[in-house]
Every structure is written in structure tokens, then in C-alpha cells.
Amino acid sequence: ISPALKIKQSGPGSGKGTQCEKIVAKYGYTHLSSGDLLRAEVASGSERGKQLQAIMQKGELVPLDTVLDMIKEAMIAKADVSKGYLIDGYPREVKQGEEFEKKIGAPALLLYVDAKAETMVKRLMKRGETSGRADDNEETIKKRLDLYYKATEPVIAYYEKRSIVRKINSELPVEEVFAIVEKAIDELK
């Protein structure tokens, strides 16, 4: 499997999904969102999906092996046609990063899509008006943010040692954020 491009799990509502969509449109990478993969499992109505739904509704992390297996399967399924992978929402804790390296490989770039907590809450509350997501409500958003600062932010320091982190100011309008993203990706080439 070729090296994965990663997009930092830079906090819920920071704009990862929005930027990933634009990256796919321009660069054609295979976008794999751990949240989307999990929500697809929930939508399937399987027993496992029901357990996942309960965890996600509480704003907690699902078991590491479940997520990593899903990502790996999805990567393998696209291995023949993929121009590279854009992984969104993973790793959410340092342990997930370590396991990814062991089972899949080392990422080439980590895009750290950064927004203030206040901005993330505002965007998620707005998204919640239409998303239908069980975790886009005030109580769960608060838990997701707490968990983000506790478990996910340390992931950045872990990758900074290898100089693959590019911090992207996601307070700006979508197009301006994307201009910074493009620069970070083009520097790789």
C-alpha cells in the first residue's frame, strides 16, 4: 500500500470534511473518513453498527481495532486505482498513529486544520440543524471537544518530530483555507 496522506483530526467541526472534498476534486486522492466508514456501518443496521452508534452518540472513541480494520479494508479495496490516500479523522490518539504505522505505513503529510474551540462549536451547532448526526448536539459536542484536546491534540506533537505537519488556519473562508492546503500538498511534489 502506498504511503497515506493524512489530514489531521483537528477537532470536530474544524473543516476537515470540507477541505477533503476540495482536495479530492483537485488531486483525485482516495478520501477515507473514519467517521463516514463508521456511519456506514451504523446505517447498515448490523449488530456491530448498533454498538458503534451508542459510542458515537456519547462522543467517545470506538475501539481502535474496529476503526483501523475498516480503514485498512477500504484502502486495500482501492489499492489498484488509488493515486494516494487522504485519511480524515484518524489518528485520533497517539496509539492509533502507532498502530497505523505498524499495520499500514508512514504518512507523507499531516494537514492540521486548525480552528478555535469557539468556532468549532459554532460550526457544529449550525451543521446540526441539517446533518441529522446523532453527535451534532450541544452535550455531545462538548464531550467531543474535551476528548479532542485530551487525546487527539498530542498526535500533532508525535508527527511534528518528523516535520510532516502543516498547520492550516481554518478560521478563514473555505477558498482561502484551500489555497493554504494546496500549497502544502504542492510542496510535496
Ligand X SMILES: Nc1ncnc2c1ncn2[C@@H]1O[C@H](COP(=O)(O)OP(=O)(O)O)[C@@H](O)[C@H]1O
Ligand Y SMILES: Nc1ncnc2c1ncn2[C@H]1C[C@H](O)[C@@H](COP(=O)(O)OP(=O)(O)O)O1
Q: Write out the binding residues for ATP.
A: 13-18, 127, 172
Chosen residue from 42, 56, 104, 110 binding ligand Y by CB under 6 A:
56
Q: Is 56 helix (H, G, I), strand (E, B) or coil?
A: helix
Q: Are the CB atoms for 186 and 30 separated by under 8 Å?
A: no
Chosen residue from 67, 104, 168, 185 binding ligand Y by CB under 6 A:
67
Q: Are the CB atoms for 7 and 20 separated by under 8 Å?
A: yes
Does the N-terminal peptide bond of residue 91 adopt cis geometry, omega within 30 degrees of 0? yes
Contact set with ligand X (CB under 6 A): 12-18, 123, 126-127, 170, 172-174, 177
Cβ proximity to Mg ion: between 2 and 171 the closer is 171
Residue 62 interacts with, from ligand Y, ligand X, Mg ion, none (CB under 5-8 Å by kind): ligand Y
Helix, strand, coil percentages in the chain from 3-state DSSP, rounded to 5: 60, 10, 30
Rounded to 5 degrees, what are φ and ψ at 170?
Answer: -95, 15
Cβ proximity to ligand X: between 101 and 176 the closer is 176
Cβ proximity to ligand Y: between 17 and 80 the closer is 17
Contact set with Mg ion (CB under 5 A): 17
